[in-house]
Chains A and B, each alone.
Chain A
């Protein structure tokens, strides 16, 4: 028992920085064999987490990206009636065998895999309000029946399920009850430095300081409709590095704003601010007590 749980113990990987609470939540989900529900602002690396948990534990991964039109059934299997009809009309394929028209979805594939796998259900909140309830039983019991054939698909080893949500819709209570939950906080500057270091090692410390001061200042502006997130910061730094900009040029101006702000009004608001001669902070002290403990 002890050896086995040690074997499936996630501790992080080289390319992904995790906070300790998140590590503990992941391990909790593994030990309890419950789905892990990860929420957080867009761009805080929810989907990446699954990728790296799979890598860290050496499990193959199957992703199910949810769209607004996704149906719970599609995750299990799809009965391709149209293909069968077509084959029947033109005398192709093995029309007599329904099984050859049953195509397993991501959940079905993970269940029927010979070994333990990781299933990522990405952005579960995109689907209809009822969607999470529809997959509840299947995820709980790790089995389902193909109605057309009566075959039962049972998971041989309980897969590890990671579910992400952008908080667009409220998830049903019954669904939440069964999950281990973690909310990814927006990283604090120190954590952010480590994250940046993974993507852009060897950034000049002073430049990075200026970059982060501007970034956190921008995030602190109450009027922004869409706050820039980690992934946007990484892109921005990439742009800055490629153009070879120095920290002095960052003093009172934010170049390549397009990589940080993705909203017309936000860009206009900042341009207004600069035109009015509004000063940007260039020191952590200017950002207020939150960053100077």
Chain B
């Protein structure tokens, strides 16, 4: 059952490694959970989960794994062991220890389960399950008589309830797109290099050089650190992209505000790239410029970010004159243009606002996913896309999980 939690989390894409799992196990060995499901839940969360964006996933998995925990418990050796292993319960008095020994395992389990069920009400210390009726050795620091106060209302005292509440939904990143978060994700889009004139005083080097120079001051200058990333944005506008206009325009704003980029250019298309690209989102023919010019003007160092749903009629991608916009000529097939872009530039990625689960059902999405590494237009997806644009490893084409 415990391992179900571990693998359940991994299946949800939560980065849990053995190291965290060991941490969690150690804390159980130390008896930090106070044989109380809520404390167990809190400790599992604190040790296994390292970002609030995964709290929701954790709640879902926890609720699933431990839902109806009552029914399965008797068959579960792990929990049996955990309950009956006295080394976890150092704090017991001799009297209590005896009492536990007198109860047989079934009775012990029954009382434990009763306590779990009762946890909708206030739970003040885990003393009850051993049936001593008070002065628990496992004080949970509730409303302690010495005036120590702990917040939290009783309605949140059941781990199941806390987990099922799923109050952390809004912190999920795999489907929400908050402009600040996007900006954070895009901050990674940088590649700092020292270029240009040496006009910044390098204090550390100056001191070192001066020391080496036996105390005669020796100034050392160096070039400024600058972001060396050039970003080319190609964006699908209109048509099937209509519902995504809002999230995409947010992304665009974030990009514009990200002045850290060395150069930034954006062009627009409808459904697929053909002979011409629009210089603004209205796609006026008179403002459009030939795609070939763009390939000539921008060298392979430019990072290309394509935003589009990649869902279109197969003919739009595969046939000559596939462009559904009659004002634009399109002698060459859309897929050829995409291949040219892919071959011309060093790094390209495709961001898709459609949920990844749909990608395999749309033929054109599958095809385009094989040309460009495709990522979802979510925070996680953008992060991965940025990594694949500036990260060390060359990106392998193909549809990824996110």
Which A residues are within 8 Å of any B CB, using their own CB? 1-2, 5, 9, 11-14, 17-21, 23-25, 27-29, 31-32, 34, 37, 39, 81-82, 85, 88-89, 168-170, 173, 176-183, 185, 187-188, 190-191, 194-195, 293
Contact = CB atoms under 8 A, between A and B. Distances in A.
Given A181-B49, A181-B51, A182-B46, A31 B32 contact: yes
B23 A24 contact: no
A180 B38 contact: no
B20 interface: yes
Interface in B15-42: 15, 17, 19-20, 23, 26-27, 30, 32, 38-39, 42
A18 B151 contact: yes
Interface string B377-388: 000000100000
Give the top 5 A-B pairs by smallest Cβ distance, nearest first: A183-B52, A11-B141, A176-B50, A25-B46, A24-B42
Interface string B212-249: 00010000000000000000000000000000000000
B196 interface: no
Contact of A81 (B184, B188, B211): B211
B19 A177 contact: yes
B90 A12 contact: no
26 contacts: A2-B90, A5-B30, A14-B149, A17-B150, A19-B150, A19-B151, A19-B152, A20-B38, A20-B150, A21-B46, A23-B141, A27-B32, A28-B27, A31-B27, A32-B23, A32-B27, A37-B50, A81-B208, A85-B210, A88-B215, A170-B184, A170-B188, A181-B47, A182-B46, A191-B152, A293-B155
Contacts of B45: 21
A17 B149 contact: yes
A20 B112 CA distance: 21
Given A88-B215, A177-B17, A181-B50, 5 more contacts: A24-B46, A32-B23, A170-B188, A177-B20, A183-B168
**Max count, chain B CB within 10 A of own CB: residue among A24, A34, A187:** A24
B47 A180 contact: yes
Tier of interface size on chain B: 35 or more
A27 B211 CA distance: 49
Contacts of A180: 23, 46-47
Nearest to B26: A32
B43 A168 contact: no
B148 interface: yes
B256 interface: no
A273 to B, nearest CB: 21
Contacts of B312: none
Contacts of B140: 20
Contacts of B32: 24, 27-28, 31
B52, B91, B167, B188 pick with most chain A CB within 10 angstroms: B52
A85 B213 CA distance: 11
A24 B39 contact: yes
Contact of B46 (A11, A85, A89, A181): A181
A29 B32 CA distance: 10
A2 B150 contact: no
Contact of A179 (B39, B50, B208): B50
B172 to A, nearest CB: 13
A194 B151 CA distance: 8
Contacts of A13: 148
A188 B152 CA distance: 9
B144 interface: yes
B159 to A, nearest CB: 10
B207 interface: yes
B55 interface: yes
A29 B30 CA distance: 12
